Amino acid sequence: MRPFVWICGFAIVTLLCSLQPARGNWPEFRGSQGEGHAADAQIPTAIGASVVQWEIDLPGKAWSSPVVWEDQVWLTNANVDGSELSVVCVDRRSGEIIHNKVLFRDDDPPFCYPANSYASSTPVIEAGRLYVHFGATLTACVDTATCEVLWQRTDLECDHHRGAAASPVLHQDRLLIALDGFDVQYVVALEKTTGKTMWKQDRQIDYETDNGDQMKAYSTGTVLRAGKQEMFISPSAMATIAYDPTDGRMLWKVYHKGMNASGRLPFDGKRVFITNGSGSIVAVRIDGSGDVTASHVDWTNGKSVAKKASPLLVDDLLYMTTDDGLLSCRDSESGEIIWIKRIAREFAASPLFAGGKIYCFSTEGKIITVQPGRKAEVLAETTLGDGFMATPAIIGNQIILRSKSKLYICGSP
């Protein structure tokens, strides 16, 4: 009887393990839920040269974040002039480059603003497949074992005018992408195994202008659930829209003004927090329908708001690193600012939460570790590399950082 019980117990454990999300993966921009959390990770408080396990050079110019599946670290990359778009795969254990493949060559690339790059959109990964997006130029699926291209799209029209930055989101059998350009603004769902269009919805937004520069956006959407309804919440300039991910039907829309949204949305179980490139934030409950501007906005604020970096929600407090080097903490329920502290010169990368601490990464290379809470308390301040535009990834007890010219892994395996 004991062997039978042991076998049954083993089978149950195996089944339960198979139902759990894969451990050690950071599959998309800001992690598996897009919230920038790795709560159980025990990475060093001070991240500097003394805790670097390996580092490699990354020629080119790319602001996209690393994504990780098991022991593979993947990145998109580009030449400074945009003439070559590529993917790089690195062995997480050794730092050895496994793949470095050019996916697309362009003798006449579109214009890209110098502050942006031709590879600013973070890819998304799952077992066996990597999905990359370089704006209208190229969207493709890559086999992670062979680095062969399984499908590609070069016909998603959009004049990004200053370059693309929105990252794709993988949900069930589809890839969800926002293309908010100078000329057209829409959201599209591609079937993940073929790349074929499942649905496409033009933005139904009154931008109150005919200036395309004020209609652009760079934001990565988020899939959430209100009751039984799943929704893909996708910020644009002027407004944010929640779509049904199955068919693209608009569920609700909120007008908040502002242009060039880029931050990913934190969610507290009831409301999302939407920032924009004009420097304001709005808290919106997600259980509405139609135009919810007058009914579901809990608060709005325009002081010390990040224009590039995504906000970070920890418990009931919302943290933001601003373009001019400030770290702010505010109450997520009321929007009240609790404290503001200057900790760097400039931020573009988003802060992360790991092992009870907040990590911030500045454009000049400073890494500032902060204790979360209603009192501003800096735990450590170090410098590594030549500055961070890309948000790092956290795997186990390691953090993977992409600087402007290198890739680092820090912490214990």
| SS3 per-residue string spanning 302-371 | CCCCCCCCCCEEECCEEEEECCCCEEEEEECCCCCEEEEEECCCCECCCCEEECCEEEEEECCCEEEEEE
Place of tokens 């992408």: 177
CATH for 173-190+199-292? 2.40.10.480
Name, in order, each residue with C-beta under 8 angstroms of 343's C-beta and a sequence gap of 6 or more.
321, 325, 326, 327, 360, 362, 366, 368, 370, 378, 381
**Res 3: pLDDT:** 43
The backbone torsions φ and ψ at residue 359, rounded to the nearest 5 degrees and listed phi first, read -115, 130
Work out the burial of residue 327: count CB atoms within 10 Å of its CB; fewer than 13 is exposed, 13-18 middle, 19 or more buried.
Answer: buried
**Res 19: pLDDT:** 35
> 346 to each of 64, 87, 309, 342, 376, how far by Cα in Å?
18, 28, 11, 10, 18
Return the exposure string of 205-232: e unless at least 16 CB atoms fall within 10 Å of the residue's CB, then b.
bebeeeebebbbbbbbbbbbebeeebbb
CA 97, distance to chain mean position in Å, is: 23
Concatenate the DSSP letters of all residues of 143-196 into one string: ETTT--EEEEE-------SS---PPPEEETTEEEEEEE-SS-EEEEEEETTT--
- Tallying the residues shown for the chain, one arrives at 413
Distance from C-alpha of 315 to C-alpha of 373, rounded to nearest angstrom: 9
CA 36, distance to chain mean position in Å, is: 8
**Res 23: pLDDT:** 52
Concatenate the DSSP letters of all residues of 102-134 into one string: EEEE-SSPPP--TTS-TT-SPPEEETTEEEEEB
> Hey, how many other C-beta atoms are within 10 angstroms of the C-beta on 136?
19
Distance from C-alpha of 327 to C-alpha of 320, rounded to nearest angstrom: 6
- The half-sphere exposure of 126 on its side-chain side, counting CA atoms within 13 A, is 13
Q: What is the pTM of this model?
A: 0.93
For the stretch 66-108, pLDDT in tens is 999 999 999 999 999 999 999 999 999 999 999 999 999 999 9
Helix (H, G, I), strand (E, B) or coil at 254: strand
In the chain, DSSP finds a helix count (H) and a strand count (E) of 1, 33
Positive or negative, the CA dihedral 230, 28, 329, 235 is: negative
Distance from C-alpha of 183 to C-alpha of 27, rounded to nearest angstrom: 31
Q: Say if CB 126 and CB 157 are below 8 A apart.
A: no
Work out the burial of residue 303: count CB atoms within 10 Å of its CB; fewer than 13 is exposed, 13-18 middle, 19 or more buried.
Answer: middle
For the stretch 164-180, pLDDT in tens is 999 999 999 999 999 99
Distance from C-alpha of 203 to C-alpha of 222, rounded to nearest angstrom: 16
Residues of the chain with pLDDT under 50: 1-22
Residue (of 146, 141, 144, 156) closest to 193 by Cα position: 141
Distance from C-alpha of 303 to C-alpha of 279, rounded to nearest angstrom: 7
Helix (H, G, I), strand (E, B) or coil at 19: helix
The backbone torsions φ and ψ at residue 14, rounded to the nearest 5 degrees and listed phi first, read -60, -40
**Res 412: pLDDT:** 87
Positive or negative, the CA dihedral 299, 301, 304, 307 is: positive
**Res 221: pLDDT:** 97
- The half-sphere exposure of 207 on its side-chain side, counting CA atoms within 13 A, is 20
